[in-house]
């Protein structure tokens, strides 16, 4: 069941648009809660211009803290988002274990997000991917706006797959499709991931769904059906790309894990720890979060399903 990996992006995607700055010690406490829950990958932040995204100003400090001995288990990977070579240099300096980078298939979104056209961004990202791989780092390359764009509408699948081919050609072995605008629907998810499988049956697949139109979890389950292994989600359902037309939150981590546990998957994750982190975040921002589990409560035990229900779910 551990073939289904949870990649928590809350410390980056979840917080990047929040106006109330979160103190470093509070971020550390939340991340320690995530580590203790047993999830697999935590995205501590992004190496971007702190003037443009102030919430990411302490990304280096977070890596310096958690990369110290005994601050995290060996089985937990710490990732970061990088947009350019300067960001990659900063990440290499503090020991980032997994670099996440990507190119938008939408020209409008790409210009708003990075100031570059997709062609310019692709040139930059492919060069970064080569450097990170040569440095022995894990690399996940994504196609953003893969399922549609709030500015341009539908995105041709050929544009998505051409970016995927470029990633594969430089040796990237983990490919992510990101639904930046939240336009995706399950059949489209299955078709696009299926097309990537045809290009390279052995590639690791990842997904990142925004919940703009309420289909984030449905699309995640379609991705699971399509053989996707890595699922990006955010504590409390926070987040959303600030450079899309309609910014909306991510699939909430505790909601995703709750659903997977009802299916008999990832019973090793401590759901109670995830819910507690989301509760602390809701308290800090003094507002309700999008997470349905915080509102409705869990219907599985915090250590996994009761034996009788588990037998039913996995039959």
Give the contacts of 192 (CB within 8 A, at least 6 positions apart): 146, 147, 157, 160, 161, 177
Domain 5-314 in this protein, CATH class: alpha beta
pLDDT tens string, the chain, 315 residues long: the values are: 458 999 999 999 999 989 999 999 999 999 999 999 999 999 999 999 999 899 999 999 999 999 999 999 999 999 999 999 999 999 999 999 999 999 999 998 888 888 889 999 999 999 999 999 999 999 999 999 999 998 899 999 999 999 999 999 999 999 999 999 999 999 999 999 999 999 999 999 999 999 989 999 999 999 999 999 999 999 999 987 665 555 668 999 999 999 999 999 999 999 999 999 999 999 999 999 999 898 888 998 655 444 344 433 332
Whether 211 contacts 290, CB under 8 Å: yes
- Cβ burial of 245 (10 Å; 0-12, 13-18, 19+) is middle
pTM: 0.93
Q: Please identify which of the residues 100, 174, 207, 241 carries the catalytic annotation.
A: 241
- pLDDT, tens only, 36-53: 999 999 999 999 999 989
Q: Tell me how far apart the terminal alpha carbons of the chain are, to the nearest angstrom.
A: 15
Whether 239 contacts 222, CB under 8 Å: no
Whether 67 contacts 73, CB under 8 Å: no
For tokens 């056209």, the residue is: 117
Tell me the two tokens of residue 112: 């708003």
Q: Identify the DSSP state of 149.
A: B
Q: What SS3 state is found at 74?
A: coil
| Element at 41 (helix H, strand E) | strand 41-47
- pLDDT, tens only, 210-256: 998 999 999 999 999 999 999 999 999 998 766 555 566 899 999 99
**Catalytic annotation on 241?**
yes
Whether 279 contacts 294, CB under 8 Å: yes
């Amino acid at each position: 069941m551990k073939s289904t990996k949870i990649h928590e992006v809350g410390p980056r995607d979840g917080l990047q648009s929040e106006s109330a700055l979160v103190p470093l010690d509070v971020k550390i406490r939340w991340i320690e809660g995530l580590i203790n829950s047993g999830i697999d990958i935590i995205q501590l932040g992004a190496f971007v211009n702190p003037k443009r995204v102030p919430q990411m100003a302490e990304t280096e400090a977070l890596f310096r803290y958690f990369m110290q001995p005994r601050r995290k288990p060996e089985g937990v990977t710490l990732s970061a988002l990088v947009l350019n070579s300067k960001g990659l240099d900063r990440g290499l300096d503090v020991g980032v274990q997994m670099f996440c980078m990507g190119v938008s298939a939408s020209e409008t979104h790409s210009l708003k997000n990075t100031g570059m056209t997709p062609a310019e961004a692709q040139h930059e990202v492919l060069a970064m991917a080569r450097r990170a791989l040569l440095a022995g780092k894990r690399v996940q390359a994504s196609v953003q706006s893969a399922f549609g764009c709030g500015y341009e509408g539908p995105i041709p699948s050929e544009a998505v797959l051409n970016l995927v081919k470029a990633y594969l050609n430089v040796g990237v072995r983990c490919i992510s499709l990101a639904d930046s605008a939240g336009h995706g629907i399950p059949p489209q998810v299955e078709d696009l991931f299926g097309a990537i499988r045809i290009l390279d049956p052995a590639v690791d697949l990842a997904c990142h769904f925004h919940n703009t139109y309420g289909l984030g979890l449905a699309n995640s389950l379609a991705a699971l059906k399509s053989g996707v292994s890595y699922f990006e989600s955010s504590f409390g359902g926070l987040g959303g790309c600030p450079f899309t037309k309609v910014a909306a939150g991510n699939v909430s981590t505790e909601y995703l894990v709750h659903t997977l546990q009802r299916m008999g998957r990832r019973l090793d994750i401590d759901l109670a720890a995830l819910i507690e982190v989301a509760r602390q975040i809701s308290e800090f921002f003094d507002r309700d979060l999008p997470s349905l589990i915080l509102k409705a409560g869990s219907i599985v035990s915090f250590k996994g399903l009761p034996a009788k229900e588990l037998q039913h779910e996995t039959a």
